[in-house]
Structure 1
Amino acid sequence: MSQITANKIVRIRNGGRPRVLDLFAGCGGISLGFQAAGFTISAAVEIDPFATASHALNFFDESEFAHHSMPIDITQTEPDMLAQMLNLGQTDSAIDIIVGGPPCQAFARVGRAKLREIDAHPEAYIHDPRGNLYLRYLAYVRAFKPIALLMENVPDMLNYGGHNIAEEVSDSLADLGYICHYTLLNAAHYGVPEMRERMFLVAFAEGINPHEFFPQPTNYHELPRGYEGTRQVALQTVINSHSLENQQNLFKENTSFMLPPAVSADLPPAITAKQALEDLPPITDHLTEKLKRGARRFDVMVPYQTCNLEGISDYATLMRTWPGHENLEGISDHVIRYLPRDYDIFEKMKPGDQYPEAYAIAIEMFNKKLKSLQRKGKKISEGCEEYDQLFKKIVPPYDPEKFPNKWRKMEPDAPARTLMAHLGKDSYSHIHYDSQQKRTISVREAARLQSFPDGFKFSGTMNPAFKQIGNAVPPLLAKALAANMLREIKGGNG
């Protein structure tokens, strides 16, 4: 163990707050979780200007905002340059913890499909430079010499063209003197009202002697079959194919993969969408033609229906009273998309319905309208311009066989399905469960489902905010990982 590492461990064990550098920080989901667990956010690296501004807005005071709100391209910024830019001090002594998730587009299967279309080559995604950004993460680890680190990514990082990036990172970290393990965790098992499956890699400097790498679940939820299927695909690179019948030897001996902590049915049930959103004000402007097309800004505060915390769920109470991000009056980002064609479809969908059901509802509505016009003596024949215009006015344009998962109406009594970055383009994946409101979720509702407190501010307008939320690590899950990490750093006494 180097003297630098020893000094960092001693400082924290004597009561010093661990200093965090957040790479690929986004708006700050990991940062918020670590801050809540007792860490200090010293700096962040993020290239998106809206996300960078959001991070600076929430983690640095007004005098430091300009300094920390500059977008930083990690491919063009060396660690020593960053330490100098942000006045962090000597590079190898400035930071205790590095966290972050290199952009996941290259790892995720949806990203691969898009790249194949562009490159017309079945393995094109392997050449996507975003898939190599984890190497920049490792370069920062070498330079800053943290005593512990966290890396997050999509499960597909375990099976990237048959290649296990997480295992490669673990091997590299072992060469640098770290003890490392990775696993798959679902946010719904840690108090987040969202079923979000992600890979987490945790490493400690050898002088720490860790015992537990991952936190114990706090909530139980039986995940839908699709989530289990995604997990099995991701795990193909760590499963010993010669020992499938012998469960004790199911995983390869030389892997750093660790089974996720067991989730017991005796735990409290997962937080549901209704528990997360029920206390937020209803939105009805779109039903009275008060909502128009255009950018949605966060300049109008909508008061809570009641500022009294009695009668709302414990989760909603936490979202209003999160230390350092309290908000007891109302919200200014409770804004939704302008989707007039679809409001009546949303109303008629049942919880759990997806695009095929929505399409069938739209076809039924179209046929009723057609018959109504015919009864009034107006004949509209298939193939004519008026027929086509009426069809487009009522029926969404997507093929239900090709896009079965494009829409989904949330179930009030279950956690929401995974929030994705494409919320920045459309939000049909999360149609509000309340049929009377006939709409997709708002920015603040997306933030609630991702476990961002109501006092957390998002920079920009609606689309950038949705994207920031969809890209983020749920703060409550990050907090569980951070608390476990701090306990291990302190020798089990945290």
Structure 2
Amino acid sequence: MISAEAMSIRQRKLERLRSGGLPRALEICSGAGGLSLGLRTAGFELSAHIEIDPEAARSYALNFANGRDPKSPWAMPRDMERVSAEKLVKELELKTSAADSFDVIAAGLPCQAFARIGRSKLRSVSGGEEDAYQKDPRASLYRRFLRYVEDTQPLAIIIENVPDILNFGGHNVPEEICEQLEAAGYSTGYTLLNAAYFGVPQIRERLFIVALARVLGETPRFPEPTHFLELPRGYEGSRRVALKHVDRKSGRFHEILTPLASLKEAVGTKDALADLPRISEHVKDPKVIRKRKLTEVLPYREIDKGISSYARMMRTWAGFESKTGTDGHLVRLTPRDFPIFAAMEHGADYPHARRLAEEMFEQALRKKKLSNRHKNSVAYQNLRSEIVPPYDPQKFPNKWWKLDPSAPSRTLTAHMGKDTYSHIHYDSRQCRTVSVREAARLQSFPDGFVFAGAMNAAFRQIGNAVPPLLGLAVARAVKQHLDRAAQGTDRVIGRRVA
């Protein structure tokens, strides 16, 4: 049962909103700030954040300092397991207690332990333990997050993670989180949202939990899709696995919203990237790329038919405008694979790329008058290594993928910090993987958003982030709840389900 003190704290916060105060947000595991950008754009005040990665924390400070010293305690990296809410408030020299400092608490908790894509790696690192992912300490961070909720008594809560958190070794973690939040006096709900349905040029399915303090008199609702897309084959199967342990009788799970065919089409990668600089120096003069800095600004390309509405949004996002050009034009130098990139079809994967490489190798053998009978020779082996990637197509079917200009991209991941073969540019003339800025565009970061660190760190931050446009859609839905509560109205919004 919720205490009288907790009720009093939440009532004070509601009264503050009614007097015109902006809702103050604390974001935990903020990363570079994708969800924070959505919150700020929706009208929230970014009061504090916690992020353990020094480079991501620095990116956050560069973009959201808002007059603060980028080297101040506000910008420091922090470990959520080592800093309490009270300690955070003290370090930031806020004039209120932890319980009175924040109206909203949000978190994009680490997903590596929950994502099926990372379980094989965790199993390998552990020496073959099948349940290694369940023992990953990151899997229990949600319990630490719930402690922050207890200490800060927010009016609203937003949690983002991968869909597989719904089926974590047969356990539905969001259901457990919602049960505990309801016991603490919150109305809760969770669902899956796809970024492509909200204008992001990327098919990225994510789990969102929204909880609202009962003092608001509101029941959580999720944003309606704004864009139409028929999901590629495979997504429905992944959904079924993730939803296997969802108890629909509990009333907490909100059925996945289906976009109407009458909505505008999802944003394709060409509309997202076409106005960015054409990069060919990696082939013509690699020294240029090696010397280029992540911060170096290059001018936009002129587009005969004009730029897309999406590109215009990325150039003009309030507070992150970029008029003549943008930075982040670094790409990986992998000369062996440039001819393969050029020859690949749109939407093609690694098995297709490997077949192309084998054909190129056979052609090169004939030119050098070599054959399979020379396969043990140094000349044969050297030639093969110069042309054919070494990865087994059976083990790495999804390692490579070439963007389809007319469709959204596949999901960007933190693994882009190690390689970007999962996102090969659709323009065969450029024969390369995407640049840092192109990855940021696919994630819906505006062109004025800057990333700290070197190229690999920037890719990792982008892959880890909540797409700002998706974060904005959720933030606006939560802001509507708070606004209605502050105005004392109870307007019902209809919902359409699959």
Please classify the TM superposition score into its range, dividing by the shorter chain length: over 0.9
Percent identity of equivalent pairs? 48
Distance 1:490 1:253 in 2: 30
The secondary structure found in structure 2 opposite 1:2 is helix
By how many angstroms is 1:290 displaced?
2.9
- Indicate which of 13, 21, 24 corresponds to 2:26: 21
1:175 equivalent to 2:183? Answer yes
Q: Could you say what the CA RMSD is over the residues aligned between the two structures, in angstroms?
A: 1.9
In structure 1, the partner of 2:7 is 2
Q: Which amino acid aligns with 2:484?
A: G
1:404 equivalent to 2:412? Answer no
Whether the aligned pair in 1 keeps the contact of 2:409 and 2:442 (CA below 8 Å) is yes
By how many angstroms is 1:64 displaced?
2.6
Name the count of aligned residue pairs: 479
In structure 1, the partner of 2:197 is 189
In structure 2, the partner of 1:271 is 267
Moved more, 447-456 or 104-113: 104-113
1:219-234 maps to which residues of 2 (within 5 A)? 219-234=227-242
TM-score when normalising by structure 2: 0.93
Structure 1 gap segments, 5+ residues each: 239-250
1:65-144 maps to which residues of 2 (within 5 A)? 65-67=70-72, 68-88=74-94, 89-119=96-126, 120-144=128-152
Whether the aligned pair in 2 keeps the contact of 1:374 and 1:380 (CA below 8 Å) is no
Moved more, 13-22 or 381-390: 13-22
Whether the aligned pair in 1 keeps the contact of 2:281 and 2:288 (CA below 8 Å) is no
By how many angstroms is 1:202 displaced?
0.3
By how many angstroms is 1:62 displaced?
5.3
Distance 1:227 1:115 in 2: 24
Structure 2 gap segments, 5+ residues each: 1-5, 490-498
1:106-154 deviation digits (Å, cap 9, x = unpaired) = 0011222112122222112111101011111111111011100100000
1:398-437 maps to which residues of 2 (within 5 A)? 398-437=391-430
By how many angstroms is 1:380 displaced?
7.5
In structure 2, the partner of 1:209 is 217
1:25-77 deviation digits (Å, cap 9, x = unpaired) = 00000000010111110111000000000001111145431122211011111
Distance 1:368 1:360 in 2: 13
- Indicate which of 39, 54, 57 corresponds to 2:59: 54
Distance 1:30 1:46 in 2: 13
In structure 1, the partner of 2:17 is 12
Whether the aligned pair in 2 keeps the contact of 1:292 and 1:338 (CA below 8 Å) is no
By how many angstroms is 1:102 displaced?
1.1
By how many angstroms is 1:466 displaced?
0.2
Whether the aligned pair in 2 keeps the contact of 1:116 and 1:122 (CA below 8 Å) is yes
Distance 2:381 2:292 in 1: 31
1:312 equivalent to 2:317? Answer no
The secondary structure found in structure 1 opposite 2:60 is helix
Moved more, 61-70 or 194-203: 61-70
Q: Which amino acid aligns with 2:320?
A: H
Whether the aligned pair in 2 keeps the contact of 1:8 and 1:147 (CA below 8 Å) is yes
By how many angstroms is 1:197 displaced?
0.3
Distance 1:297 1:461 in 2: 8
Distance 1:302 1:127 in 2: 46
Distance 1:371 1:135 in 2: 62
1:339 equivalent to 2:334? Answer yes
Q: Which amino acid aligns with 1:417?
A: R
In structure 1, the partner of 2:365 is 370
- Indicate which of 464, 473, 484 corresponds to 2:457: 464
Whether the aligned pair in 1 keeps the contact of 2:178 and 2:189 (CA below 8 Å) is yes
Distance 2:354 2:167 in 1: 34
In structure 2, the partner of 1:243 is none
Moved more, 52-61 or 380-389: 380-389
